[in-house]
Structures are given as structure tokens and as C-alpha cells.
Structure 1
Amino acid sequence: MDSDIIAGWVAEEILPWEGLVRNWLRRRWGHAVEVEDVLQEAYCRIASLQSIDHIANGKAYFFTTVQSLVLDSLRRAKTMGARELTEMDESCVLDEA
């Protein structure tokens, strides 16, 4: 699909909801994620779409995309935290031998 068509669609169907989505992100997830990074990644994902024909509601699609990004970020952070616990530095462990 033509990138100009997607850009026009984003301007009409996504941009009007940015303030609402930003406020929702700050209230709901602001303590756990970088709001501006999530929004930027959402725009990147939407801009990289090959087609927008499958999207019936731009607002709902934007919210769903943002929520998916947040949940992915939280899962990655949880996995990284668990990995850090299992890879503790053994240099501070006393060897009784």
C-alpha cells in the first residue's frame, strides 16, 4: 500500500487520539514505562503496516497497539529481572574449602 495513504490515514484516524492515549498511558502505566517511547514505537509499528484495510476503528487499533507494546515491555523487564537473579555475581560468595 502507498505510504502516503497510510500517512494520511494516521493523520485522520490516529493523531486525534494521541492526547487521550498519552494521558491513559501516564495514568495507567507511567510508573512502569517511558510513555513517549511507547508512543513512538506505536507510530513506527503503524507506519510499517503494509495495509490498513483490516482496521475498522483507528482509535481502538491505536489503543490496542499501545497496550500490546506496554505488556511486551513489562514481560521483557520481568524476564530480565529473573535473569539477573539467576546470574548473581559469585565473587562475593565465601568458599569454605
Structure 2
Amino acid sequence: MTYEIPASVAWVAGSDFIDRDHNVYAMVLPDGEPVILEGTAAMAWLVIADGQPVVETMAELTATPPERVASDLSGFLADLADRGLLDVAEEAR
């Protein structure tokens, strides 16, 4: 699956404002609940925002087998999609 951030989501990387803030702050506009993403969750968000394949890129960045990354991220990414923070598309085969 591929993921992208829909136009209805506003987000900002904390490091854009404070050097040591590595969190990502996101919410569905106009009245969604703000979400704070920390650590690898923030890293995964930034990978998606950059248009990179999240599983493969996170596996490379963390030196973790792609199968484990996929397993570790599946629930998190599904939760973000359920909240309207991510759009999900099946990959073309």
C-alpha cells in the first residue's frame, strides 16, 4: 500500500520552529483533534510527506528488515487512515 497526506490535513514539523522539537503535529481541518507524533511515528510521517515508500524507507533508515517494519507500522498507519490523517491506495501490480 502507498500512503499520502490528504489536502484536508494541516501539519507541521516541530523542528521548523524549535531545533530540538522532533515531533510532528497534525490535524484534519477544520475541527479535527490535534495529534502529536513522536519518534519513529514522526519519522514515518515525514517519509510519507516526502513521497517516499514508507516501509522500504523506514527499513533502510532504521536498519530493520522490511517485513518487521511493515508489521510494526501496519496498526499505526491504519489508525492514521481511520482518523482521516492519511489516504491509502493499493499499489499497482
What TM-score comes out, normalization by structure 1 length? 0.27
Which structure dedicates a bigger proportion of its chain to helix? Answer: 1
Greater Rg by CA: 1
Which structure dedicates a bigger proportion of its chain to strand? Answer: 2
